[in-house]
A and B are shown apart, each in its own frame.
Chain A
């Protein structure tokens, strides 16, 4: 990465690919019990993006949802063997369950990675913007209210025809 790019906070497409490979390696090693990020190639086999799909976000707590996964639970559930795999879902109100697909793509215009996410409920119906905002971590919510230029936009993702939030 050239110094000029570093100082501007941008990176080249190649550097993104390299960083993504490193990210996958680290994530899959350190967070091995979490679902794994994968590298997906666009159908032209040239550009790729990072993908993590089907994450469950439980919003049983009003203020902050904790990212959890349908696999064996970490943190507080670790000690209790009964809470391994799907048993944890019993306590969650199915109406409050939100699913997220995350994709990280390289944006050629701004020369930065961009996070696209798709949020949906139990029935596969897309979530409304305000519901998604409630799921965001605190610092993101603050950024949203700070400036009119910080916002979530809904866009059709490049090369993929379904509807995504960015």
Chain B
């Protein structure tokens, strides 16, 4: 089981980073910086390697916050590098050509970033949120000793899996996935929630080659869905990746009500709710706007750069492909019928 986690931690994206032309003040233009970026890392953490490479070419005066763009799209720094690559490069580009800016921070699109500290806080907050989802409380994260916190962050920074496992095991963040790994014999399967971040982009036309997939030129085209997946005891053994993705996209794949749910419903019948088990309840003003599931097609699912078979047990995915903050990041491309 550890093997897959090692691959995830060793995963990296080769980057070719160009200084934005408006900021080049020397001739010839500086060559691009070539960097191997860890998948589980974040772009601002690469700045100490990139800055020296371009410092000679920069105009005088103190620089703004550093930011990156891909084909003109400013990159959100709190999304792990691997996820950005999986999401924005339908056809993987190697090396991945990015542009770095030292000025003109687009604060209407990007949240401010004060370097490593911002990234660290974002990471710890996500870890806290994941802990809450898994355990129902985040005491373990909030009570981490200062040295532990430092070491945990450093292990992520340096890609040190051994150190990471040592500290993170103290947090007791085993999810439902572990039940199956240990061969829970008596069928006493836990009902639990799994932290998932879903990045969905929709296309209305089919494409055969990933090269022909439409470019993502704005964050408006991506739905970022931060919704835990609920695994229910009995069905846990057969819960596939496909089931998981569909369960957190009820707007595209409405849950079908089953007889066993009727008995637990004591809600006002006048409410226009679509029935579903436990957490996935929502108010639907106009049920007609939900897409019927046969018209919506999952075209692509990418996790840690791989496209797993949709019938893979979700528990395996959770156990092996999560990021260090215990979130599973899933990039999904949906084909939906055109809505007028």
Residues of B within 8 A of A155 (CB): 111
- A126–B121 alpha-carbon span in the complex (Å): 21
For the residues of B in contact with A, the DSSP-based class is loop
* Complex Cα gap A161–B76 (Å): 10
Complex Cα distance, B241 from A22, in Å, reads 38
Knowing that A111-B279, A161-B220 touch, tell me 5 more A-B residue pairs with CB under 8 angstroms.
A13-B281, A44-B251, A46-B282, A46-B290, A153-B125
Which parts of B65-89 form the interface with A (CB within 8 Å)?
76
B195 at the interface (CB under 8 A from A): yes
Q: Specify the chain B residue showing the minimal Cβ separation from A108.
A: B227
Whether A87 is near chain B, meaning CB under 8 Å from some CB there, is: no
Q: Does B64 contact A (CB under 8 A)?
A: no
Q: A111 contacts which chain B residues (CB < 8 A)?
A: 279
Which residue of chain B is the closest to A44 with respect to CB atoms? B251
Cβ–Cβ contact B226 & A12, under 8 A: no
Would you call B110 an interface residue if the criterion is a C-beta within 8 Å of the partner chain's C-beta atoms?
yes
Known: A46-B250, A110-B129, A161-B220. A156 touches B281 (CB 8 A): no
Asked if B142 is at the interface of the complex by the 8 Å CB criterion, the answer is yes
In contact, B195 and A12 (Cβ under 8 angstroms): no
Distance (whole angstroms) from the CB of A104 to the closest CB of chain B: 14
A143 CB within 8 Å of chain B: no
B132 sits at the interface (CB 8 A): yes
- Interface flag for B223 (CB, 8 Å): yes
Within 8 A of B (CB), among A1-20: 8, 12-14, 17-18
- CA–CA, A44 to B282, complex, Å? 12
Residues in chain B near residue A47, CB distance under 8 A: 282-283
- CB pair B226 A14 closer than 8 Å: no
CB distance from A92 to the nearest CB of B (A): 25
A1-43 interface bits toward B, Cβ cutoff 8 Å, 1 = contact, 0 = none: 0000000100011100110000000000000000000000101
Is B169 at the interface (CB under 8 A from chain A)? no
Check A93 for interface membership: any CB of B closer than 8 A.
Answer: no
Cβ of B133 under 8 Å from chain A:
yes
- Quick check: is B320 within 8 A (CB to CB) of the other chain? no
Check if A158 is an interface residue, CB within 8 A of chain B. yes
Whether A78 is near chain B, meaning CB under 8 Å from some CB there, is no
Do residues A156 and B76 form an inter-chain contact, with CB atoms below 8 A?
yes
Asked whether A13 and B111 contact (CB < 8 A) given A45-B290, A108-B227, A158-B224, the answer is no
Kindly identify which residue among B226, B228, B251, B273 contacts A158, using a CB–CB cutoff of 8 Å.
B226
Tell me whether B188 is interfacial, beta carbon within 8 Å: no
Q: Number of residue pairs across A and B with beta carbons under 8 Å?
A: 81
Q: A109 to B129, Cβ gap below 8 A?
A: yes
The 17 sampled A-B contact pairs (Cβ below 8 Å) are A13-B282, A13-B283, A41-B285, A45-B286, A46-B251, A46-B282, A48-B283, A109-B129, A111-B279, A156-B76, A159-B223, A159-B224, A161-B109, A161-B220, A162-B109, A163-B107, A163-B110
Q: Are B281 and A14 in contact (CB under 8 A)?
A: yes
CB-defined contacts of B286 to chain A, threshold 8 Å: 45
**Hey, which chain B residues are within 8 Å of A154, CB to CB?**
111-112
> A139 contacts the other chain (Cβ, under 8 Å)?
no
Residues of B within 8 A of A (CB): 76, 107-112, 121, 125, 129, 132-133, 136, 142, 195, 218-220, 223-228, 250-252, 267, 271, 273, 279-286, 289-290
A18 and B271 contact, Cβ closer than 8 Å, known pairs A158-B225, A161-B219: yes
Alpha-carbon separation in the docked complex, A43 to B281 (Å): 17
CB distance B281 to A12 under 8 Å? yes
CB–CB A149/B226 < 8 A? no
CA distance A22 to B185 in the complex (A): 48
A108 x B111 contact (CB < 8 A):
no
A66 → chain B, closest Cβ, in Å?
28
Select one of B136, B228, B252 contacting A108, CB under 8 A: B228
Name the residue of chain A whose CB is nearest to the CB of B289: A45
B111–A163 CB distance below 8 A? yes
CA distance A124 to B322 in the complex (A): 39
A33 to chain B, nearest CB (A): 27
In the complex, how many angstroms separate the beta carbon of A87 from the nearest chain B beta carbon? 32
Nearest residue in A to B249 (C-beta to C-beta)? Answer: A44
Residues of A within 8 A of B225 (CB): 158
Contact with B along A142-166 (1 / 0, CB 8 A): 0000000100011110110111000
Given A45-B289, A109-B132, A158-B224, answer yes or no on A14-B112 (Cβ-Cβ < 8 Å): no
Q: Which of B129, B136, B279 is close to A12, meaning CB atoms less than 8 Å apart?
A: B279
Best-surrounded residue of B107, B195, B283, B286 (most CB of chain A within 10 A): B283
1/0 per position for A34-75, CB-CB distance to B under 8 A? 000000010111111000000000000000000000000000
Which chain B residue lies CB-closest to A155?
A: B111
Residue of B nearest to A164 (CB): B111
